[in-house]
Amino acid sequence: MTSSVINDADDFVREALEGLVATHGDLLALHDEPLFVTRRNPSTGAVALVSGGGSGHEPLHTGFVGDGMLDAAVPGAVFSSPTSLQVKAAVESVDTGRGVVLVVKNYTGDVLNFSIAAEVLADRHDVEVVVVDDDLATESAADGGPGRRGTAATVVVEKVCGAAARRGDDLAAVAGLGRRVVERSASLGVAYRACTNPLTGALSFDLAPGEIEVGVGIHGERGRSTQQAGTADEVVGDLVGRLVEHLDLGTGARVLLLVNGLGATHPLELSVAARAARAVLRDRGVVVERSLVGPYVTALDMHGLSVTLTRLDDELLELWDAPVSTAAVTW
């Protein structure tokens, strides 16, 4: 008995990848044993970009493999890190000799497995690790703890680094731009309903009618607080206000706005959220130079959204605007 579109739990991720790669046969290639996805037509002579992590966040990361973004994506089981061996094999597959940047969301398992792969390869490949930790909900984690989680800012890091690699930047420059995006980005998420276990249909946490969970991550975990849901303007306004404060965005600051659906949020709802976010930013004199609205970093079928702001400069804007051709974004 399942409550989702699934055959066998053990084959869930692999079958989804087979379907994705078959659908985008012009863009993607699937590598088996160990499992990872690469571009169908690898770039030549550019720094390579590899990311990955647990599955269940699609289109992240496989949907961002393509020209101008990732060279390879390494998927683990649902909400579980890929193995170091998968990461190692992906790096060996895509390195053109100019080195590889690993984009890693800040979770203990992901950081460990990607770092171990980088270390084991150190004698034969130049590898830089960029850790993304944009989630303000985990800001107060104690010293020595795992630190802030990595969420939707990963998309911005992958886009900017991919464009930098494509224009011929060297390894240090590509990694440096990734870190610049991380420093200038912050995210917060809210859930109206938790995600369900694809096998059992069980919710990862319970909310009473009219309640929302503020400060959720992307693995179905509870957030920082449970609150009464206000209007969309109130809920989104609260998130955006905190992001603006954290990034210290004053009048004239230029940002990229990412309104991200967490899996089950309707496009109409995301558009309402985008409208609300823009209203708050306009009131504060913050200039929305570019925006992206849609489900890009999901938590299975969670009903909710996250808002990410990245403070832009001319170079980041140019790299964001550079051409990209992937399953999830193309311009």
The residues that are catalytic are: 57, 219
H-helix segments, 135-266: 153-166, 171-183, 232-247
Closest CB 134 distance from other proteins, rounded Å = 22
d(CA 155, CA 258): 9
* Distance in Å, CB of 115 to other proteins, minimum: 5
Smallest separation (angstroms) from other proteins to the CB of 214: 31
Least CB distance to other proteins at residue 143 (A):
13
Task: Spell out, one character per residue from 243 to 282, where the chain touches other proteins: x when CB under 8 A holds, - when not.
Answer: ----------------------------------------
Interface with other proteins (CB under 8 A), residue total 16
Smaller CB distance to other proteins: residue 59 or 150? 150
Residue 234 contacts other proteins per CB under 8 A: no
Taking the complex as a whole, the smallest distance from the CB of residue 79 to other proteins amounts, in Å, to: 12
**131/273 Cα distance (integer angstroms):** 28
**143 near other proteins, judged by CB under 8 A:** no
51 vs 84 by CB, closer to other proteins: 84
The nearer residue to other proteins, 113 or 265, going by C-beta atoms, is 113
**Footprint (CB under 8 A) of other proteins, residues 28-47:** 34
Identity of the amino acid at 207:
L
Q: Which is nearer to other proteins, 81 or 326 (CB)?
A: 81
Query: Which residues, 82 to 141, sit near other proteins by CB under 8 A?
Result: 83-85, 88, 109, 112-113, 115-117, 119-120, 123
Distance CA 242, CA 248 (A): 10
C-alpha angle 266-156-95 in degrees, rounded to nearest 5: 125
* DSSP β-bridge partners for residue 254: 287
Which residues share a beta bridge with 109? none
Sign of the CA dihedral running 90, 94, 98, 102: negative
Chain-centroid distance of CA 19 in Å reads 21
In angstroms, the CA 23 to CA 2 distance is 25
Query: What contacts 245, CB < 8 A, 6 or more positions away?
Result: none
Nearer to other proteins, 84 or 306 (CB): 84
The residue assigned the tokens 């992307």 is 218
Binding site for other proteins (CB under 8 A): 34, 80-81, 83-85, 88, 109, 112-113, 115-117, 119-120, 123
